[in-house]
């Protein structure tokens, strides 16, 4: 029991670190102020592989480190100004992604590929909604302009990220279970 909790805590830290590392693989798309990064993949993966509390905690640690000024956000940015800035809503959405993907993975184990697909797409669009509303408020931009700037250019790349995350998480889960190191439930 203690060993499983320790494994989950270690995995939580690994996913927080993965969020920081994957966020650095980024660039800004011309004519948009929102950076394209792989950081969201760690939120999807933590949700797919960890119980809800630990998945949520991994992203909370990542966001807290960034808010404290450690440059873990895309393009080596850090500080509370990033969270309260125009793209902060998208980063806060990682909490929703991790928690609800994990919740879905736990409840629908028998149809895991389908449940992960639905939950990752649904939480991605919830992240888009939260982030876009936040962006509109912060920049006084129209919702249509915000969607064209902050969502439309990212839909196809984010769907590719989801496809990669689903398949990678299922392969990793299988390998972890085979080795006896499964951290999911």
Domains of the chain: 2-179 (1.10.1760.20)
Residues 6+ apart with CB under 8 A from 26: 35, 36, 37, 38, 39, 74, 75
Residue 106: predicted pLDDT: 86
63-85: pLDDT as tens digits: 999 999 999 999 999 999 999 99
Contact between 73 and 85 under an 8 Å Cβ cutoff? The reply is no
Q: Tokens at residue 11, please?
A: 């995995």
User: Among 2-6, 95-99, 119-123, which stretch is predicted with the lowest mean pLDDT?
Assistant: 2-6
Q: Which helix (H) or strand (E) holds 182?
A: none
- Report the C-alpha gap between 129 and 150 in whole angstroms: 10
The three-state secondary structure class of 70 is: coil
5-59 per-position pLDDT tens digit: 888 999 999 999 999 999 999 887 776 667 789 999 999 999 999 999 999 999 9
- Average predicted confidence (pLDDT) for the chain: 92
pLDDT band at 1 (very low <50, low <70, confident <90, very high): low
Span 172-181, average pLDDT: 82
pLDDT at 182: 65
> In 3-state terms, what secondary structure has residue 150?
helix
Residue 35, strand partner residues = 28
Taking residues 109-137, report their average pLDDT.
Answer: 94
- Token pair, residue 183, equals 């951290």
Residue 184 has pLDDT above 80, yes or no: no
């Amino acid at each position: 029991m203690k060993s499983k909790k320790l494994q989950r805590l270690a995995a939580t830290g690994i996913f927080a670190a993965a969020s920081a590392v994957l966020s650095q693989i980024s660039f800004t798309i011309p004519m948009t102020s929102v950076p394209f990064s792989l950081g969201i993949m760690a939120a999807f993966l933590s949700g797919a592989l960890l119980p809800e509390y630990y998945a949520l905690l991994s992203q909370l640690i990542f966001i807290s480190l960034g808010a404290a000024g450690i440059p873990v956000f895309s393009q080596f940015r850090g500080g509370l100004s990033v969270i309260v800035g125009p793209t902060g809503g998208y980063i806060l959405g990682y909490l929703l992604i991790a928690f609800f993907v994990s919740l879905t993975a736990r409840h629908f184990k028998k149809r895991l590929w389908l449940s992960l697909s639905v939950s990752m797409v649904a939480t991605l669009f919830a992240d888009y909604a939260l982030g876009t509303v936040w962006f509109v408020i912060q920049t006084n931009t129209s919702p249509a302009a915000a969607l064209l700037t902050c969502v439309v250019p990212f839909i196809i790349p984010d769907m590719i990220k989801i496809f990669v995350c689903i398949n990678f998480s299922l392969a990793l889960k299988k390998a972890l279970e085979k080795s006896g190191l499964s951290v999911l439930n």
